[in-house]
Amino acid sequence: MLPKDLHDFKDVAENYDLYLEEMYSSGDNHEGFREFYLDFAREYGKHGVIDIACGTGAVLLYLAEHGIYADGTDLSEAMCRVAEDKAKARGFRLNIFPANMTEFSSGKKYSCAIIARSGFMHLLTPELQRAALLNIRENLTDGGMLTFNTFDPHPYFQAQQMNTKDTDYSFRLEYTNLQGMREKIYNAISYDPHTQIMSGNWKFETLNEDGEVIEERIRPVRMRQTYRQEMKYLLELTGYELINVYGGYHGESGDASAKNVIWCVRKK
């Protein structure tokens, strides 16, 4: 049994869309991501699309709204339940199921697989990354396409996080939760250069009308940073052909200056 992560908690899943909207209202590294995945699915999804690490369905439901009825899977049962509820409320009957991307199988193959935003980065070891890529390959048709993204490790932030404890909280944002109450989110992230893992905690503070903290919740989070050359070698080992690397969801150059790295690969 894997230890619980941020997205496994019911309170996080229920409020996920609400605080992400606030988080991405400024400095959004994911601006245009839905349109990118829609274009990708339209081009390569003739024989089926699967949204892996689908979360609460941001991409999955956007595809459905545009006539592409993809399957969705996520490690978090809480996230899957939220995605299912949203799909039903909009009149969509979608196949959404909880599963680890290292071993999922829906009993059919797809010509297009999507791991949106940072889903791939929650695989914490090269062995798990390899297992996921091999399993996804098994679920793809011959010549099937996969897209996922990573973030280039940044030495400046790595150095900062190497000296950060999991209780050294920094304010992230304030939003209104599902119950209509104000919440503040803080996070503390440390970095281990040996494992390349960022780990720490998110702290949620619920406020009353006077701005006083009436509840506090701590939720753990862990993600792994992967260097590009490491990723290219891993893709080669797991039987993929690199088709393109973008630096953003509008087709920006994926050169060394890009921080958001969007990989587009084909099953050999």
Exposure of 156 in the CB half-sphere (CA atoms within 13 A): 1
pLDDT at 257 over 80: no
pLDDT single digits (tens) 209-220: 999 999 999 999
pLDDT single digits (tens) 37-77: 999 999 999 999 999 999 999 999 999 999 999 999 999 99
Backbone angles phi, psi at 241, to 5 degrees: -105, 125
Q: Average pLDDT in the 243-247 region?
A: 95
H/E stretch holding 12: helix 10-23
pTM listed for this prediction: 0.94
| The pair of three-digit structure tokens given for residue 100, joined into one six-digit string | 């680890």
In this prediction, residue 28 carries a pLDDT of: 61
